[in-house]
Amino acid sequence: MSWSRGFAMKIAIMQPYLFPYIGYWQLINAVNRFVIYDDVNYIKGGWINRNRILINGEPTYITVPLHRPSPFKRICDTTLRQPATSWRDRQVKMVETTYRKAPRFDVVFPVIEQVIRHETISLPDYLAHQLRALSAFMGIGTEFVASSRCYENSNLHGQARILDICQREAATTYVNPIGGRELYDPTDFRGVGIDLRFISMRRFPYPQRSKPFVPLLSIIDALMEIGPVETRRYLDAFDLVEK
């Protein structure tokens, strides 16, 4: 897709996560183009290959096992553990057992199963497919671009690399999670004609069978409880704020 220079282009740049929570999808929903930042190092113990679902009222990890993951290896160079059928079967069974009585199970489970069973050994391909498939399911029209396939600027680091990507995309606004406020200087962005904004999630609970409400779970939980149409309404519950 090509954009006119006069178009207000909002972009975000973020590592791919496994079934991320609502706030991550709000970031995707807030921009025209989402850069999947997959040519940076894998983060051990983060959210790249795991997330949490609610089992018997307790947040429990659902994890994609990897082949020799390392913080010295880029995400785009990381592969899934083989054979793949065994852990995929376990994941599908885990989701099915946990949510079979959820209000929107019949609509959501086939989509989640298809995403889990996506055939590839590449971690970034697996995660990119998931982001695209679930975005389509929720009616998000954002375009996705993988950084490993576009920019060839891994010699740059930190803010300099982000600015380079923004300029190549003719971005008018760069949107970042609010936790990254200390990482960027808005003066440097303004100097190249880019508005720097941070997404602030308005946290309010969706109907959940567990009491009390457990926040910040995988998007699987919200989809199972309230379905894609209602979840889509929650994706607009954010503010774009300055530093």
Where do the structural domains in the chain lie, given as residue ranges? 10-241
Cα 129 to Cα 79, 90, 108, 116, 135: the distances in Å are 15, 20, 16, 10, 10
Q: What is the mean pLDDT of residues 104-124?
A: 97
Q: What is the number of other CB atoms lying within 10 angstroms of the CB of residue 163?
A: 21
Measured in degrees and rounded to the nearest 5, phi and psi for residue 116 equal: -60, -40
Using one digit for the tens of pLDDT, what is the confidence trace for 88-108?
999 999 999 999 999 999 999
Higher pLDDT, 7 or 185: 185
Find out whether 51 and 19 touch, Cβ atoms under 8 Å. yes
As a three-state string, the secondary structure of the chain is CCCCCCCCCEEEEECCCCCCCHHHHHHHHCCCEEEECCCCECCCCCCCCEEEEEECCEEEEEECCEECCCCCCEHHHCEECCCHHHHHHHHHHHHHHHHCCCCCHHHHHHHHHHHHCCCCCEHHHHHHHHHHHHHHHHCCCCEEEEHHHCCCCCCCCHHHHHHHHHHHCCCCEEEEEHHHHHHCCHHHHHCCCCEEEEEEECCCCCCCCCCCCCCCCCHHHHHHHHHHHHHHHHCCCEEEECC
46/10 Cα distance (integer angstroms):
26
The pLDDT of residue 45: 92
Measured in degrees and rounded to the nearest 5, phi and psi for residue 49 equal: -125, 25
Using one digit for the tens of pLDDT, what is the confidence trace for 153-174?
988 999 999 999 999 999 999 9
Scan for tokens 């497919």, then name that residue.
129
The pLDDT of residue 6: 52
pLDDT tier, 84 (very low <50, low <70, confident <90, very high otherwise): confident
Q: Which tokens belong to 211?
A: 């009491």
23/199 Cα distance (integer angstroms):
9
Residue 5 has pLDDT above 60, yes or no: no
Q: Which tokens belong to 218?
A: 């995988």
Measured in degrees and rounded to the nearest 5, phi and psi for residue 30 equal: -80, -10
Q: What is the mean pLDDT of residues 187-194?
A: 96
Mean pLDDT of the chain: 94
Question: For the chain, what percent of residues have pLDDT higher than 70?
Answer: 97
Find the range with the poorest average confidence among 66-70, 84-88, 185-189: 84-88
19: exposed, middle or buried (C-beta count within 10 Å: 0-12, 13-18, 19+)?
Answer: buried
Q: What is the mean pLDDT of residues 120-147?
A: 97
Residue 41 has pLDDT above 60, yes or no: yes
